[in-house]
Amino acid sequence: MKRLSLALSLALLGTAAQAQQSAAPPATVVEIPPLSSPDSGTRGNEMLQIGWDATQLIASDLGQTTELMPLKPKREDYVSFPEVTAPSFGKWRPLGAKILLTGFVQSRSDGRIAIGCYVYDVPKGAELARKGFVLPKSDWRRAAHKCSALAYTAVTGSPGMFDTRIAYVAESGLGDAKVRRIALMDSDGYNHKYLTTGDTIVLKPRLSPKASQLAYVSFAGGKPIVRLLDLGSGQERPLVPTDAISFAPRFSPDGSQIAFSMMLGPNSDIYVVGAGGGMPRRLTTSPAVDTDPSFSPDGTKIVFESDRSGSQQLYVMNANGSGERRISFGAGGYAAPEWSPDGQWIAFTSRGQYGRRIGIVRPDGTDERYLTNGPADESPTWAASSREIMFARLGQGGRSNLYKISLGSGEAQQVTIPQDGSDPDWSGAVD
């Protein structure tokens, strides 16, 4: 009977996930003709090739979302340079396109290139948005990601997650031989690199909002200490001038402060310190384990986990430490909370009878729901759009991989990385 009850419970969970998925609105069809160029000759051919590569990347970006459905780009759909800003909407309406994204690539005398993108409402024949960039030729991918974000925002009203960075703990080996390194990559997996050498345990990589800095936990001295790395200069230092145990760092929305946990006695409390240095300020004083702080997007509140009630639960307080209140009351434990960029949700890891699952809840504790069925999912992190969550899933043999799931879809998709990975963190738009 117990097995039957468990099976029925899991079936109901799957049904609920399918119901959420079926409730999602249909995707908006987007037409993306190859980016044009006003240049001619050999230089023009080079610009057109960059434009074609950028067109395919934009289609790939938008194809990863649940809200937009790009039609497959075709070279024969090339439009002339004048048509970039004066499109023939009658050409695209029969294809069912609701959105048209056009653009151009132009060479400059200083060796850089200019890329412009335009987004149109096809049924209304109206321009929705435009944006231009001047950058080195080698950075064309960033411009393409920004064009993708322009279209995504025009349709959804939410920021795009394409020109963002992902940090995570890269893992190789098993058991005592496991090597952990902090890795960093673009949101589409390009520009992958390792930031630490693997000679010590590292945990909890956390990017600043625009991915210019990284805070993480290092065991280099034999105990966990939060360190701060400047990704531009490569300079690194301890977060606070003390040898006390510290962990679970998280940047404020403007990048000026870092909240973290520190132990100056038998329990840990939440502290905050300026990202540029200084002495930390204590926010909690409970005789319990308070950890994993995360700021609200307006910087006025912090969500954290604490076992002060006897089990790990979620609490919200003002950013100065006042007004603490509990927002989770379910069975089992709640861990690793992260506030969504739009302020509407808090993601968390649930630990209970179904194992570890990814859930979301409103900041006031209402509307709790689960996005995954477990049994070994943890460490959720939000996309800049607040519509996707990346997390780690432990598989057979103790190997961990990264997955992402949309709030409008019940199916998690594995993220392609060079090796096993855990503890992801997703930045906001780089600039």
Q: What pLDDT, on the 0 to 100 scale, is given for residue 133?
A: 93
What's the confidence (pLDDT) of residue 398?
Answer: 83
Q: Which of 6-10, 19-23, 358-362 has the highest mean pLDDT?
A: 358-362
Q: Which residue has the higher pLDDT, 319 or 331?
A: 319
Q: What CATH number does the domain located at 28-156 have? A: 3.40.50.10070
> 0.85 exceeded by the pTM?
yes
* φ, ψ for residue 240, nearest 5 deg: -125, 150
Mean pLDDT lowest for which of 13-22, 166-175, 272-281, 352-361?
13-22
58 φ, ψ (degrees, to nearest 5)? -60, -45
**What band does 202 get if pLDDT is binned at 50, 70 and 90?**
very high
Phi-psi domain of 41 (left: phi exceeds 0; alpha: psi -120 through 50; beta: other): left
The angle, 0 to 180 degrees and rounded to 10, between the axes of the packed helices 140-156 and 41-63 is 50
Strand (E) or helix (H) holding 364: none
Does residue 22 carry a pLDDT above 60? Answer: no
pLDDT at 164 over 50: yes
Report the pLDDT value the prediction gives residue 358, as an integer from 0 to 100. Answer: 97
Q: Indicate if the pLDDT at residue 227 is higher than 70.
A: yes
First to last CA, the chain: 56
Over residues 70-113, the pLDDT tens digits come to 999 999 999 999 999 999 999 999 999 999 999 999 999 999 99
**CA-based R_g, the chain, Å:** 23
Return the pLDDT at 162.
95
pLDDT at 374: 87
Mean pLDDT of 326-337: 95
Confidence of residue 265 (pLDDT cuts 50, 70, 90): confident
Q: CA of 62: how far to CAs of 27, 71, 138, 153, in Å? A: 11, 10, 22, 11
Q: How confident is the model at residue 175 (pLDDT cuts 50, 70, 90)?
A: confident
Q: Is the pLDDT of residue 198 over 70?
A: yes
Q: What is the pLDDT of residue 408?
A: 78
Q: What was the pLDDT predicted at 11?
A: 35
Residue 131's pLDDT band (cuts 50, 70, 90): very high
pLDDT more than 90, % of the chain: 86
Residue 24 pLDDT: 59
Q: Break the chain into its structural domains and give their ranges.
A: 28-156, 165-426
Higher pLDDT, 6 or 126: 126
Q: Write the CATH number of the domain with boundaries 165-426.
A: 2.120.10.30
The b-or-e profile of 48-84 (16+ CB within 10 A means b, else e) is bebbbbbbebbbebbebbbbbbbbebeeebbbeeeeb
Residue 36: predicted pLDDT: 97
Q: Look at residue 13 in the predicted model and tell me its pLDDT.
A: 38
Answer whether residue 303 shows pLDDT above 60.
yes
Do the beta carbons of residue 336 and residue 305 sit within 8 Å?
A: yes
pLDDT (mean) for 391-408: 91
Task: Give the span between the Cα atoms of 83 and 56, in whole angstroms.
Answer: 19
Residue 343 has pLDDT above 60, yes or no: yes
- What DSSP assignment string belongs to 305-362? EE-TTSS-EEEEEETTS-S-EE---SSSEEEEEEE-TTSS-EEEEEEETTEEEEEEE-
Mean pLDDT of the chain: 92
pLDDT recorded at residue 173: 86
Q: What is the pLDDT of residue 23?
A: 53
* 345-386 confidence digits (pLDDT tens): 999 999 998 899 999 999 999 999 999 998 999 999 999 999
